[in-house]
Chains A and B, each alone.
Chain A
């Protein structure tokens, strides 16, 4: 009897110990989860600006892949590079008709012009997603940030929140307005393990598709191999908490239209201090203000009711 019970006891201790250990490890995980940092298996694209020749093949491939409307100027018309908007303050940008655009930059440091492809950066912790009040955005485990027009209310908060101002909106549609942006060819290619159409079409190998972690290594290796050629920075490694599309460049990033003043943690973090006070206000305010109320009334209100009851009792 006692043997069995001892064995039982030992067994239960082991089980208990094991589960406690499991519980501990899960709390560790829970702590770690406070900082998301992106999916481990996330795919990405590395753009090497020094390799891009501005042939616009990627633009054409994207247009074809997604069945977008034909542009005013054909994809082999390079006069688009001279287009400027808003009194010269802005070059071409992504629109409701183009998920991606390439712009030319005549830089001081480099004799030849530098071209930059622009599209959704597919952030690890996207501001569009975290600012959306109907959860219209999803960050898939493959790394794509995709959008669901079926629940979108059209508040355009995501456009305000996007640090790269990438989302476009079909303002002209009265009945089905929606956000238009690059979706990493999620349905047609990414889920099948294939690279996006633009990457596949690039004749210069300027775009490299792969796991984000691998791409980061590749990027740093390229910089290390030619330190005089490249700027020692991988744009998108830490910007706004990391992005799936990353850039390396042979000219300073601010000379080719990149915003180099972005924060190096997710945009979501900016709202956390406020969101933290929400439960506190909900928890503290009722008691505090009712307390103030009782203080201000000096207990008058209560005696009124009590005495009323008393009168009734006396009357009886």
Chain B
């Protein structure tokens, strides 16, 4: 792609071709405005595509193998370890890493911090895809994936925490589809639909906060069903939900920093100047938020230790693992973030974001897999299970990249000149209206103050 950009090529960023004014066809939009030959040329040239191809060439047959021979053919199939990487990584880790949507939605739409606006769409897409692929992981992991809708329609186990998780993930996925659909409608060329969705932004954002609070917490609460199996250092009957909710805050933020870092390095051609120009300042702002969440998380983890009086476990081997997790996944990031923020060192902040994500992964895998059944025996995910997990993760990366190339996530969609003409009077009117409103407010103030 860089090759074409150097030659002066501009990828599709509006409804019609700026050179001759004709509307882009869907196929042209899908191929970013390149001719089929050029498009496949650039596909072949990118070594990352070959890397993906190799992963899928190995991974997809394994997935097919799983559906033909059952779960036992790829998982260790232990009765004491019913959950493996698919849920430990795919659900318990992907969901907190996708908290970005509701966090940035709240910041920009609800609290009105417009300086984060350039990254909002990326955060929303990150959230949507993370949840979507958590469901994909579920489809691999469930014994009867074709019954995925059962808790919605067929049989309600209303007392179960998983019931809440299922419903909330489903509803929140819908909310996120609607939120991201604005960008999609712009791209496909249905402005009416986009405007219609846009009216509901605040409602969707508030729904996002509610659903996220509850299901991020509920994922933690799921583990309170297994009090003796989860190691006491990772378990807290009272605070499990708030641990998971709080850690999802910095996880979601760090994921946005990490993804934007990769984007800046690999697909800057697709980013608008607004995005690239503001990214460093935004990253520092995000780091501030993440470090506050990290400090809070450290404090409540400490409270958890004190509350359940678990100090004695710290001396054991599991205690060392716990200390490594807290030191490298929580304390070190806080220190590095504060250095980065103070010295405005964006590079350090970006590195720390990756470190924090590693810390979160460690926490979730420790809780669900590694220390699970700590007083029984340890089970390690077998090769095929790992291959499937890696494959689905890179499928996530592929879809992510596919959408970023096309939808107006990193750049803003340029409206058609004809439409611009039509919209000019409207903007003038609103400006006038603002002026008038300012005036009338003044008058109102004048009237009020003497009385």
Contacts and interface: CB of A to CB of B under 8 A. Distances in A.
A171 B376 contact: no
B377 A289 contact: no
A275 interface: yes
A153 B441 CA distance: 60
Contacts of A281: 210, 213-214
Contacts of B145: 154
A136 B155 contact: yes
Interface in A209-265: 259, 261-263
A172 B225 contact: no
A87 interface: yes
A282 B212 CA distance: 11
Contact of A159 (B79, B159, B228): B79
Interface string B258-279: 0000000000000000000000
B228 A135 contact: no
Contacts of B17: none
A44 interface: no
Interface string A149-171: 00111111101110101011111
Interface string B142-157: 1111011011001111
B166 interface: yes
Interface in B388-441: 429-430, 432-434, 436-437, 440-441
B315 interface: no
A130 B221 CA distance: 13
Contacts of B213: 281, 285
A134 B150 CA distance: 7
A274 B165 CA distance: 12
Contacts of A310: 433, 436-437, 440
A271 interface: yes
Interface in B10-63: none
Interface in A55-100: 85-87, 89-90, 93-95
Given A171-B70, A263-B227, A290-B202, A304 B376 contact: no
Contact of B83 (A156, A172, A314): A156
B142 A154 contact: yes
A278 B164 contact: yes
A267 interface: yes
A200 to B, nearest CB: 27
Contacts of A39: none
20 contacts: A89-B376, A90-B377, A130-B159, A134-B150, A134-B151, A136-B157, A153-B142, A153-B147, A153-B150, A171-B70, A171-B75, A274-B217, A286-B206, A289-B205, A293-B112, A293-B206, A304-B434, A307-B434, A311-B433, A314-B436
Contacts of B162: 131-133, 155, 157
A277 B376 CA distance: 33
A172 B72 CA distance: 5
Interface in A126-142: 127, 130-136
B210 A282 contact: yes
A2 interface: no
Interface in B129-175: 141-145, 147-148, 150-151, 154-157, 159-166
A303 B228 contact: no
A219 B427 CA distance: 85
Contacts, number: 203
Given A135-B157, A177-B70, 7 more contacts: A153-B150, A156-B143, A165-B80, A274-B240, A285-B210, A293-B202, A311-B436
A270 interface: yes
A93 B79 contact: yes
Contact of B82 (A89, A152, A160, A273): A160
Nearest to B207: A286
B437 A307 contact: yes
Contacts of A152: 143-144, 147
Interface size class of B (residues with CB under 8 A): 35 or more
Interface size class of A (residues with CB under 8 A): 35 or more
Contacts of B382: none
Given A154-B147, A160-B83, A285 B206 contact: yes
Interface in B188-231: 202, 205-206, 209-210, 213-214, 217-218, 221-222, 224-229
Interface in B292-340: none
Interface string A284-308: 0110011011001100000110111
Contact of A171 (B77, B160, B163, B217): B77
A174 interface: yes
Contacts of A259: 228
Contacts of A289: 106, 110, 205-206, 209
A259 B226 CA distance: 13
A274 B162 CA distance: 12
B71 interface: yes
Contacts of B377: 85-87, 89-90
Contacts of A154: 142-145, 147
B67 interface: yes
Contacts of B156: 134-135
A134 B157 contact: yes
A110 interface: no
A304 B435 CA distance: 10
Given A131-B225, A135-B156, A261-B228, A271 B77 contact: no
B111 A271 contact: no
Indicate the member of A132, A163, A274 with the most B CB atoms within 10 Å.
A274
A160 B372 CA distance: 10
A53 interface: no
Contact of B155 (A135, A168, A177, A297): A135
